[in-house]
Copies of this chain bind each other. A is one copy, B any other.
Amino acid sequence: MTEPALATLTRLRTACSQCNLRELCLPVGLSADELETLDNLVSTRRKIRRGDSLFYGGEPFSALYAVRYGFFKSTLTSGDGREQVTGFYMAGELLGMDGIGGDRHTCTLTALEDSEVCVMPFARVEDLSREFEPLQRHFHKVLSREIVRDQGVMLLLGSMRAEERLAAFLVNLSQRLTARGFSASEFVLRMTRDEIGSYLGMKLETVSRLFSRFQEDHLIEVHQKHVRILDIGGLKRVMAQAQGAA
């Protein structure tokens, strides 16, 4: 079966099977053959400039998004205007799953640097999931992992002290960057102290003070947004210092 040349180009340009993120993104674990089935999962790509939002809380839900490059934060706004950062997302991670349950997005996704996402219309995700068992299985895993991730943050917020939380945050960031081929020990924070603080349930001054203390303790070197991890083992020790362990 043939298709117009332009359509072929478009399909190939957005094809999962050609994407260098296929080891991280939705198709992870699928064979090359299976991968081709996904090649019409992505309808288009969309660029979002730093500071702009991919979607806002309250907007109708229609698609999931995979980060191709860039960096996002998700924020939740409570009835009384409080804002909480609920997550940070980088290449290969999936956005928008909060919207499935109520047909509207509950959180706002904002780019912290110029970014690009693959747009996957949700109806298409569900259609393909029904036809193609490996995709269904994998999609369920991705949803479940988001639940587990959120529960991990609950553990962090509910039972750890500020310095433990920040250490855990740095270790997690380092691990995710490593998985993407970046340096595990040196990186540039894309978010402000205020955003880190919101995510970790503390004030920006506390974040700043703790960065300084970690530096004094030779765990990290920090200069504004540049962070170098000097002693990852030390950070892990800080993060596990359950003093009031139940």
**Interface residues in chain A, defined as those with a beta carbon under 8 Å from any beta carbon in chain B:** 76, 78-84, 86, 97-102, 106-107, 126, 129-131, 133, 136-137, 140-148, 150-155, 157-160, 198-201, 240-242, 245-246
Contacts and interface: CB of A to CB of B under 8 A. Distances in A.
A148 to B, nearest CB: 5
Given A102-B148, A129-B136, A144-B100, A200 B82 contact: no
A129 to B, nearest CB: 7
Contacts of A159: 78, 82-84, 198, 201
Contact of A98 (B136, B147, B153, B246): B147
Q: Which residue, of A80, A99, A158, has the highest number of chain B Cβ atoms within 10 A?
A: A158
A179 B48 CA distance: 41
B158 A198 contact: yes
Given A129-B136, A245-B82, A141 B107 contact: no
A158 B153 CA distance: 10
B201 A246 contact: no
Number of copies of this protein chain within its complex: 2
Contact of A147 (B81, B97, B133, B157): B97
Main secondary structure of the interface of A (DSSP, over half): helix
A130 B136 contact: yes
Contacts of A144: 97-102, 143
A146 B150 CA distance: 10
Contact of A140 (B78, B100, B147, B158): B100
B76 A151 contact: yes
A100 to B, nearest CB: 4
28 contacts: A78-B240, A80-B245, A82-B160, A84-B154, A84-B155, A86-B151, A86-B154, A98-B151, A101-B141, A101-B142, A101-B143, A101-B144, A101-B145, A102-B144, A106-B151, A129-B136, A130-B130, A130-B133, A140-B143, A143-B143, A147-B147, A150-B150, A150-B151, A150-B154, A157-B158, A158-B200, A159-B198, A198-B246
A105 to B, nearest CB: 10
Contacts of A136: 126, 129-130
Given A84-B158, A126-B136, 17 more contacts: A76-B152, A81-B246, A82-B242, A86-B154, A98-B151, A100-B143, A100-B144, A101-B141, A101-B143, A101-B145, A101-B147, A102-B145, A130-B130, A143-B144, A143-B147, A158-B201, A198-B246
